[in-house]
Amino acid sequence: MIKSTFYNLPEEKRNRIIDAIMNEFASASTEKVSINRIIKAANISRGSFYQYFDDKVDLVEVLVKTFMNTAYDEFYTALANSQGDIFSTYIHIFVLITNYTIDKKQKVVLKNLLKNLKANDSLISDYMINRFEGISEIFNGIDRIIKDNLRFKSEEEIHSLSLILTLILKNAVFNLFVKNEDPEKVREEFMRKIKIIKQGALVTDSCGNDN
């Protein structure tokens, strides 16, 4: 588990360690990540490393949280700007994530992370299930923002909708970064699925038009 001492570090040092972890994941697959190389690149001692982290899998959490923190901020900004339209919000997040393909290092890091998670590596998957909850946090506020444009109003139904949209997003991201499918085809498939779900979820007026 990531220890509080890591989060209590001065921002410059904490970012230096994150950069070292990012660079290591960009140059090696997850199972070949070297703590020694990270320690050297971050200019910290081995003792310091274990004051911040328990094991290699903590490094996965560092990177996931780094990406998710950006997505978290973007998600709620987009949701507010769209007046609670969760469909355009998911599209916005998809565009944000696809922009990571422009940066070669970020693309390789995401690819390595996603490949290992998808492959259900026991060490990482157990950790993500039992110790890391950050992935779901980004979607928890949907039902508290706006419901007027949806057919259904209950928290359970809105939560189910968010889970469906999240699965669609996850599948598109995996196809883009791990399977290296054509970005335009991935985008078209993503938009087609979003459109289908949207047509079934939105309230329609007396003329049959979506609100």
Dump pLDDT digits (tens) for 31-51.
678 999 999 999 999 999 999
Helix axes 56-81, 86-98, angle to 10 degrees: 130
Domains of the chain: 4-201 (1.10.357.10)
Residues of the chain with confidence (pLDDT) below 50 = 119-125, 127-129, 131-136, 138-139, 143-145, 205-208
Cα–Cα separations (whole angstroms), residue 60 to 83, 131, 156, 196: 34, 12, 31, 34
DSSP string of 72-129?
HHHHHHHHHHTTS-HHHHHHHHHHHHHGGGTSHHHHHHHHHHHHHHHTT-HHHHHHHH
Mean confidence (pLDDT) of the chain? 77
3-class secondary-structure state, position 210: strand
* CB 70, CB 76: distance < 8 Å: no
What is the pLDDT at residue 51? 96
Q: Rounded CA gap, 155 and 160, in Å?
A: 8
What Å distances lie between residue 130 and 7, 134, 140, 172, CA to CA? Answer: 21, 11, 18, 25
- Which residue bears the tokens 């899998």? 57
Q: Residue 71 in contact with residue 99, Cβ under 8 Å?
A: no
